[in-house]
Amino acid sequence: MLTDEIREYAETPDRFATVADGSSVTRYDDGRICFIQGENWGSVSAPSVAPDEVEALVAQVRALARQDNYVWWIGPSARPSDLVERLQALGFGEPADRVGTLHALALTEEPVANPPEIDVLRVETFDAFAAAREVQWDAFDTPSERRAIARARLPGDFAESMRFGVPVGFLARLEGRAAATAMAIPSDRGVFLIAGAVAPWARGRGLYRALVRARWEFAAERGTPALVTHADPATSYPILKRVGFEDVCTIRRLEDPHR
């Protein structure tokens, strides 16, 4: 059964995510807006202001931004209730990745065990970390120039992830090869699932499900047996529904053209 706490967590996971002091990730949350940022990404969520305060909130977010690669995530608890339309009137539009709508989902019952031919390990070595990134790049057909830039950052990214323990990475192997990867962001309410990716050659063989199971076990070990995620209707959503995830709400994503 989905509790009100889990529903709130599924809609606004950034508000509850573990953010380690001293890491490259920061969070600003004043009750009116939650803005979490990394070195080259950011997400704005949980907006709650009066109708006549929307433009001031947009200005506040622009002033807080450390870089310009951030997206607004707007769920049903956002205020005012017509915030999407108000932001669109200010020129906001579909994000560059063209994913304007996501489904917030939650899982509170243990999923099925992994197929025996799939091995899933927690990423704890640089080799596994690098292999996971290569799978991710292949899955999303990342251009070679972006891969080269990201490879140069790998040692620093790995060092930070090991130092602070967030995010927690997982790598699935099939036939002795790195085949799929995913990450988990822990919180006191459960675990937020992000960055699931399966290599093109390995799709349709249960790897995505295996990574869900591994992260469930991680959540259960922590004493917080609940998983939440935001799923793309065209890709991960149908898979997660078959695994047993329940619908919580719909999230709209918008990008500020003047960010």
CA separation for the pair 83, 51 (Å, rounded): 8
pLDDT bracket for residue 19 (50, 70, 90): very high
Percent of the chain with pLDDT over 90: 97
pLDDT tens by residue, 231-256: 999 999 999 999 999 999 999 999 99
Residues 25, 89 within the same domain: yes
Residues 214, 135 within the same domain: yes
pLDDT tens by residue, 164-191: 999 999 999 999 999 999 999 999 999 9
- Does residue 1 register a pLDDT over 90? no
For the chain, give the mean pLDDT: 97
Residues 88, 145 within the same domain: no
Residues 94, 122 within the same domain: no
Residues 97, 124 within the same domain: no
Can you name the residues that pair with 171 across neighbouring β-strands?
Answer: 121, 181
Residues 145, 76 within the same domain: no
Name the residue range of residue 43's domain: 12-102
pLDDT tens by residue, 132-156: 999 999 999 999 999 999 999 999 9
pLDDT bracket for residue 37 (50, 70, 90): very high
Domain boundary among 50, 70, 102: 102
Residues 62, 123 within the same domain: no
Does residue 109 sit within a domain?
A: no
Does residue 221 sit within a domain?
A: yes
Residues 73, 144 within the same domain: no
CA separation for the pair 243, 166 (Å, rounded): 25
The whole-number pLDDT of residue 108 equals 98
The tally of domains found in the chain comes to 2
Residues of 98-134 as b/e, b for ≥16 C-beta within 10 angstroms?
Answer: ebeebbbbbbbeebeebeeebebeebeeeebbbbbbb
Residues 129, 68 within the same domain: no
Residues 92, 139 within the same domain: no
pLDDT tens by residue, 212-222: 999 999 999 99
* Pair of tokens at residue 214: 């591994």
Residues of 56-72 as b/e, b for ≥16 C-beta within 10 angstroms?
Answer: ebbebbeebbeeebbbb
Residues 160, 98 within the same domain: no
Q: Measured in whole angstroms, how far is the alpha carbon of residue 24 from the centre of its chain? A: 16
pLDDT tens by residue, 76-128: 999 999 999 999 999 999 999 999 999 999 999 999 998 899 999 999 999 99
CATH (domain of 167): 3.40.630.30
